[in-house]
Amino acid sequence: MNVSEKMSLETLIDSRPIGAFQIRVIALCSLIAMMDGFDMQSIAFVAPELAAQWRIAPQIFGVVFSAGLLGGLIGAIAFGRIGDRKGRKVTLLYAMSIVAAGTLATPLATSVSGLIAVLFFSGIGLGGAMPNFIALTTEYSPGPRRATLVAMMFCGFPFGAVVGGMASAYLIPLFGWRSVFLLGGLLALLILPAAARWLPESARFLALRNEREKIAPIVARMNGTALWNGEVGAVTHVRSSVASLLADGRAPGTMLLWTTTFLSMFMLYMLINWIPMMARRSGFGIESAVIAVSMFNLGGIVGSITLGRLADGAGGLPRVIGCAYWIGAGIIASITYVAHSAAALFFVAFAAGFFSMGAQLCTVALSASFYETFLRATGIGCAMAAGRTGAIVGPVFGGMLLASGVGFATLFAMAGATSFSAGAAVLALLLIRARSRSGDASGVPAAARETS
């Protein structure tokens, strides 16, 4: 093969079929996402038991639910910027270490204030891990299949919640609520050395730093040495910053992404945190209450894969995601009207997860594809921070509504309206694409084409 026929690093990654090396990277990132989902939603699984043991009012639980999410907001922004400056892998390992330490410390809490403190600390690690494993998956995924692969990887998040829910339904009656956090901490400890051993640094990130000697072994593991022309792409000296997310034509898309993630996470965490409480108030046992949330997460897994494949095939993430949010809105609003039957509740929870949670998981792929390599982890981190803000407000707002006497029917109707609004925000990205001569199918500005 002539040198002129060989490929640049970008072209090599985007054009090569998925091999064993990339599958391993994506699988490890999915495993870390599973850890995130398990640990992030554990508090929702143990909430009914804690409420009974500690006699905690619903409005107080709104604050407890939000503690880890507030930590996640801070972690997403801080570790996202660190990931763009120091590397995805090392930043991810530090974040995972915080998760393991915080989760294992949670069973030691003996008061609401102590519980809030350890959840906040753990949340910093959980939020910090997310932009970096999303960026790694994005940067090892070929362009034509990126939406599907990122969505499939992020299925680990709801799958972790499903595993956590099923484990909680078994563990809580036998060993109490503390056993759930012990299991989550041990899971983090098991995944950490595997990530340290087998996860590579992002080749695209290394290219920005012109570290060709570190890229060559990665290209070899992708079986691409004979195809690579040795070029690493243009080296950038632009430092990542939040201000950069609003520069060079990115501002409209960035603001719409932040709006979408805020609204979708507001809706998502209202459902995750209050479905178990609603189920218990309707007369179901703790097992059924937890299974209802697990069905919601399971629907999200199936939905994200299905919607991701539709988006890759139909040529537009915003169109597919927006329509899914709208369909999910009506289903969410109907949840309380089927609470007389466990089977009906499980089915509707699955359907709500399929559309609204599936759309939210695909929004992660949209955020990842919007930004260039040097800004990707910062962009994802800030989008996740906007989402964490919504996730913080959602449970607190729901607790305030319930404390004021508003019923669960109104609560879930509002969650449905929020899903509808998220769909409207993400569909507005189509208008940006239509008005921009340089936009691609995802509404990405010209500056971001390189890695989109």
d(C-alpha 255, C-alpha 251), whole Å: 6
| Number of structural domains found in the chain | 1
- Contacting residues for 383 by C-beta, under 8 A, at least 6 apart: 257, 258, 261, 367
For every residue of the chain, which 3-state class applies, written as one string? CCHHHCECHHHHHHHCCCCHHHHHHHHHHHHHHHHHHHHHHHHHHHHHHHHHHHCCCHHHHHHHHHHHHHHHHHHHHHHHHHHHHHCHHHHHHHHHHHHHHHHHHHHHCCCHHHHHHHHHHHHHHHHHHHHHHHHHHHHCCCHHHHHHHHHHHHCHHHHHHHHHHHHHHHHHHHHCCHHHHHHHHHHHHHHHHHHHHHCCCCHHHHHHCCCHHHHHHHHHHCCCHHHECCCCCCCCCCCCCCHHHHCCCCHHHHHHHHHHHHHHHHHHHHHHHHHHHHHHHCCCCHHHHHHHHHHHHHHHHHHHHHHHHHHHHHCCHHHHHHHHHHHHHHHHHCHHHHCCCHHHHHHHHHHHHHHHHHHHHHHHHHHHHHCCHHHHHHHHHHHHHHHHHHHHHHHHHHHHHHHCCCCHHHHHHHHHHHHHHHHHHHHHHHHHHHHCCCCCCCCCCHHHHHHC
Instruction: Classify residue 7 as exposed, middle or buried by CB count within 10 Å of its CB (0-12, 13-18, 19+).
Output: middle
- Give me the pLDDT at residue 240, please: 57
Look up the domain containing 321 and give its range. Answer: 3-451
CB 34: neighbour CB atoms within 10 A? 22
- Contacting residues for 376 by C-beta, under 8 A, at least 6 apart: 84, 135, 138, 139, 368, 451
- Give me the pLDDT at residue 452, please: 38
pLDDT along the chain (452 residues), means of 10: 62 81 93 91 83 76 80 90 91 96 93 92 94 91 78 86 84 91 93 94 86 87 79 55 76 90 89 77 76 87 87 71 94 84 88 93 82 82 87 78 77 90 88 58 42 37
- Give me the pLDDT at residue 379, please: 86
| Position 43, amino acid | I
Q: Per the structure block, which two tokens stand in for 343?
A: 């089977």
- Give me the pLDDT at residue 239, please: 57
d(C-alpha 19, C-alpha 194), whole Å: 19
**CATH value at residue 337:** 1.20.1250.20
- Give me the pLDDT at residue 272, please: 79
- Which pTM was predicted? 0.79
d(C-alpha 356, C-alpha 162), whole Å: 16
d(C-alpha 370, C-alpha 360), whole Å: 15
Answer whether 260's CB lies under 8 Å from 387's CB. Answer: no
Residue 228, beta-bridge partner list: 7
Residue 7, beta-bridge partner list: 228
Backbone phi, psi, residue 141, to 5°: -105, 135
Answer whether 443's CB lies under 8 Å from 433's CB. Answer: yes
Q: Per the structure block, which two tokens stand in for 281?
A: 């108030």
Q: How close are the terminal C-alpha atoms of the chain, in Å?
A: 28
- Contacting residues for 182 by C-beta, under 8 A, at least 6 apart: 104, 107
- Give me the pLDDT at residue 428, please: 87
Instruction: Classify residue 292 as exposed, middle or buried by CB count within 10 Å of its CB (0-12, 13-18, 19+).
Output: buried
d(C-alpha 272, C-alpha 295), whole Å: 11
